[in-house]
Amino acid sequence: MKKMLFLTIFLIMLASCTGPQSPSPTSTALPQANLPNPASVYCQEQGFQSEIHTTTDGSQTGICRFPGGSACDEWAYYRGDCGPVPQQDVDSFTDEIASDGCKVYRNETLGYSFHYPGDAQIVANDDPLKSISVEGSLVEGEHWPQFTISHPSNREAYHPPEDVDLVQWLTEHNLLTDDRLADVQIAGIPAIHLHHDRSPQSYADDRYFFAKSGQLYMIVIGHAGDKEDWDLYNHFLESFQFETN
């Protein structure tokens, strides 16, 4: 009995001498925030200008702007998909000036051209539609005007049969999603006109669908900054022409 008592007292004294155990050190390092965008850094390292572009739907993307007036999505440039000499559907960017004082864009592959404001730039977009955009100068923090032309070669919805009912085709492929206005003529071809109203998330826009030789075209006119100029817009639409109709 005495042995058990002495053993208990000894263990209590031993515990009091050792003191509390320190917890194992843990890492307090936090992930670094606000790291620079490598695509933006790459654009600037090549001597070009990095810009933030806000589209009519309110989304933002980085643009790398090159000397001579061309530009493309920063990540597309980072991957080598585009560059100072535009590729794919922007391979016909020129400094040609029309008699109306506008610049002229020509697409040799599909055989069309259009006029756009002299202070605007052509941008190759890194999106599934492989679209190109016309971006005007900055007006109160927004590029205006904004025109987008899309005619992807690898999307079934953009290759309707030549004798198809276009309204039915657009409906079946979920492209007829906004309010339909009166049809117009673009390059002598009937074009379906849709209007998307202003919302808290996006600016209003007008879009036009027309087809030629089995290729569907979509032109979007974005009303960035809630600014509209239909004299300018109609001049752009009227200037859109195919070399042979």
The pLDDT of residue 230 is 97
Taking the C-alpha atoms of residue 47 and residue 37, their distance in angstroms, rounded to an integer, is 16
Q: 37-41, 54-58, 209-213: which range is least confident on average?
A: 54-58
The percent of residues in the chain predicted with pLDDT above 90, rounded, is 46
- Alpha-carbon distance of 193 to 187, in angstroms, equals 14
Q: For the segment 87-144, what is each residue's pLDDT rounded down to a tens digit?
A: 444 445 566 899 999 999 999 889 999 999 999 988 887 777 878 899 998 888 888 9
Higher pLDDT: 61 or 150? It is 150
What's the pLDDT at 72? 79
- Residue range 192-199: average pLDDT? 95
Structural domains present in the chain: 95-242 (3.40.1000.10)
| pLDDT over 50 (residue 61) | yes
